[in-house]
């Protein structure tokens, strides 16, 4: 079976550390802010003027911005990627809306974006509004995996954002972030 490079048609490769320059990352953060400005109040329908193929292409454009925002710990961007009516399935969920999971995600984002750790996404697949990916966080000094997960986002492109997320997370070193990681 032929191996797949999941990033071959994307703006940046987040499968391993060291593949994205600071300049490219800066441009992706700017693009992320632009994408957030396109989100509509109501989740758009998939129809002839907004078909699944367009949504899939927009999700492919968005994906590297999401990865860069996570690597930089940009909770201001990450939290706006969700719709207000988000449904989030995970081990201790389901969560509904933006408030129920906020404290947990605050800790998770701090742990996976902490100094000395690089988050990587070796697998990402797209189909219409579905984005499936696997991630792991590597300790830059030891190479140890400190956390990993498998996720499915249902994201209605730039106009809609994420309204359903299903995630399996495993944290190997910590579950709650120390205050010094939460306060930056």
Is residue 12 assigned to a domain? no
Confidence of residue 86 (pLDDT cuts 50, 70, 90): very high
Q: Look up the CATH number of the domain holding residue 84.
A: 3.10.450.50
Backbone phi, psi, residue 17, to 5°: -70, 155
Is residue 8 assigned to a domain? no
Q: What is the 3-state secondary structure (H, E, C) of 48-99?
A: CCECHHHHHHHHHHHHHHHHHHHHCCCHHHHHHCEEEEEEEECCCCCEECCC
Boundaries of domain holding 83: 22-182
Given a cut of 70, whether residue 155 has pLDDT beyond it is yes
Is residue 2 assigned to a domain? no
Rounded to two decimals, what is the model's pTM?
0.90
Is residue 176 assigned to a domain? yes
Is residue 11 assigned to a domain? no
Domain count, the chain: 1
Is residue 3 assigned to a domain? no
Confidence of residue 165 (pLDDT cuts 50, 70, 90): very high
Each residue of 94-135: pLDDT tens digit?
A: 999 888 877 777 778 787 888 899 999 999 999 999 999 999
The alpha helices in the chain, defined as continuous H runs, are 22-36, 52-71, 75-80, 102-112, 157-160, 179-182
Taking the C-alpha atoms of residue 165 and residue 184, their distance in angstroms, rounded to an integer, is 26
- Where residue 170 falls (left for φ over 0; alpha for ψ -120 to 50; beta otherwise) is beta
């Amino acid at each position: 079976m032929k191996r797949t490079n999941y990033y071959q048609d994307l703006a940046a490769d987040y499968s391993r550390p060291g593949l994205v320059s600071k300049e490219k990352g800066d441009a992706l953060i700017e693009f992320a802010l632009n994408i957030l400005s396109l989100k509509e109040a109501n989740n758009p329908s998939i129809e002839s003027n907004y078909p699944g193929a367009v949504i899939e292409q927009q999700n492919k454009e968005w994906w590297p911005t999401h990865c860069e925002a996570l690597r930089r710990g940009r909770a201001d961007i990450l939290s706006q990627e969700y719709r207000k009516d988000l449904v989030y399935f995970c081990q201790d969920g389901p969560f509904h809306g933006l408030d129920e999971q906020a404290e947990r995600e605050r800790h998770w984002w701090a742990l996976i974006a902490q100094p000395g750790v690089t988050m990587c996404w070796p697998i990402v697949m797209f189909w219409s509004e579905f984005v499936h990916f696997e991630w792991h966080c590597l300790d830059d000094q030891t190479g140890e995996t400190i956390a990993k997960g498998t996720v499915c986002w249902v994201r209605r492109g730039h106009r809609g954002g994420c309204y359903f997320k299903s995630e399996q997370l495993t944290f190997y070193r910590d579950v709650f972030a120390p205050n010094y990681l939460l306060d930056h």
